[in-house]
Amino acid sequence: MMTKRYFGTDGIRGRVGQSPITPDLILQLGYAAGKVLAHAQSNGTERPRVIIGKDTRISGYMLESVLEAGLSASGVDVLLVGPMPTPAVAYLTRALRLQAGIMISASHNPFDDNGIKFFSAEGTKLPDQMELAIEALLEQPLECQSSAQLGRVRRMDDAAGRYIEFCKSTFPARMDLKGLRLVVDCAHGATYHIAPLVFHELGAEVIAMGNTPNGLNINDRCGATHLSTLQARVVAETADLGIALDGDGDRLMMVNAHGQVHDGDQLLFAIVKHRQGQAGFAGGVVGTAMTNLAVEKAFLQRGIPFVRAAVGDRHVLEMMRARNWTWGGENSGHIICHDKHSTGDGIISALQVLAAMVEHQTTLRDYTAEVTLYPQRLINVRTSQRIDLEQNPRVQATVQAALQALQGNGRVLLRASGTEPLIRVMVEGENLAQVEHWAQALATTVEAEAKAQ
């Protein structure tokens, strides 16, 4: 497999105005993607059709325009849906029988980042071969089609309504959310006009927050990556639950009535525990290297197979499909229920957790009480220098010292982020003070070695 120059684990992402997120390169990207899609079109008689969605970043307008121009120049028809969650784009791509979906988003990153994600006709991430084919064309000249062959562009006005109904359809028809008081944090992102309506139309009393985007406030001290405001609001409003989504709507975190956070590991456990009690339950669960050890043990105690994939929802889904399993996820809040959707979806995942609570007439804290998470400390070391973590003697010596101190009841994970210039240092164990000590020691060593490069 050739090394990709632009595509990472979650599409193409970076700081707006810096390569690769520049107008000229994204114009070329639209053209290259259009040419690859046209070549892949099986019957050759119809032009490929593509949908473009975006989150609420101010740069989305610029990137949408140049992507649209590049695709049209290559002869591809385009549907524009405006601000829309990433999983909505995946759903609409599949539902409308389109050749691809494109989402303009940098997910949980700050507003001055942005990115481009592609979905296949099945609503899943593009295969590696197609990403490599697109990259190969990025270096070629842009040759516009003749006027008669240009792609047509139109706006789709009912996209939000279609997606709202799809989300609601994943919640059991015999149930409703009446009597539940929910605080829903939309992170000033792509779910701002969708998530509150989904839960309200199913009967819940909804208190919306993070639902006034201005192009600059996406993920700003709110949403699934900044939970303190939601925690306080849930307690102040005497709500039953808080629901936190990220900027593009594919991550989920929840806060119980006492203001305690439930991460993706705990929510995945709640969903699978609920499904285990239903007819036809089969298969296991895919986590990642970041999945808490306590969750793995809880699944195994229930007789549910559990395996770890590399970090990233793309890798989780690949392993799920390889094993023909239905559930997988990450502690960051990416949760995939493959019987409900082709990709991770924060709103749909929340509905599956709520279904468990409603059916068993319980609280989230009580339903997940059998899982007591091991203390886990994650430190992000920002660095522009690449460092070979596996071969660096000082880093590896510190890793071995940490593992020896944990005495087999913990884990150490070092990895480079696939979406940001960071090295993520994670230590997990039974003793919080020990975990904090070794996480800081490792982060200090990694930072020093990176600077020495």
State the catalytic residues: 107
The β-bridge relationship of strands 153-155 and 77-83 is: parallel
In sequence order, the 6+-apart residues with CB closer than 8 A to the CB of 99 are: 37, 40, 41, 48, 49, 50, 76, 121
In angstroms, the CA 293 to CA 352 distance is: 23
**What values do phi and psi take at 244, rounded to 5?**
-115, 125
Residue 404, number of CB atoms within 10 A of its CB: 9
Is residue 289 within 8 A of residue 310, CB to CB? The reply is yes
Q: What is the DSSP string of 83-115?
A: E--HHHHHHHHHHTT-SEEEEE--TTS-TTEEE
Q: What is the DSSP string of 402-432?
A: HHHHHTTSEEEEEEE-SSSSEEEEEEEES-H
In sequence order, the 6+-apart residues with CB closer than 8 A to the CB of 313 are: 10, 250, 329, 330, 334, 336, 343, 344
Is residue 266 within 8 A of residue 280, CB to CB? The reply is no
Query: What 3-state class would DSSP assign to 187?
Result: coil
In sequence order, the 6+-apart residues with CB closer than 8 A to the CB of 14 are: 20, 21, 113, 114, 115
Residues in the chain: 453
Burial profile 111-143: b = 16 or more Cβ within 10 angstroms, e = fewer: bebbbbbbbbbebbbbeeebbbbbbebbeeebe
Cis peptide before 127 (omega within 30 of 0): no
Is residue 365 within 8 A of residue 259, CB to CB? The reply is no
Q: What is the CA radius of gyration of the chain?
A: 22
H runs (alpha helix) in 219-279: 228-236, 264-276
- Choose among 195, 363, 199, 349: nearest CA to 275: 349
Strands of 289-391 (E only): list them. Answer: 306-309, 327-329, 335-337, 376-382
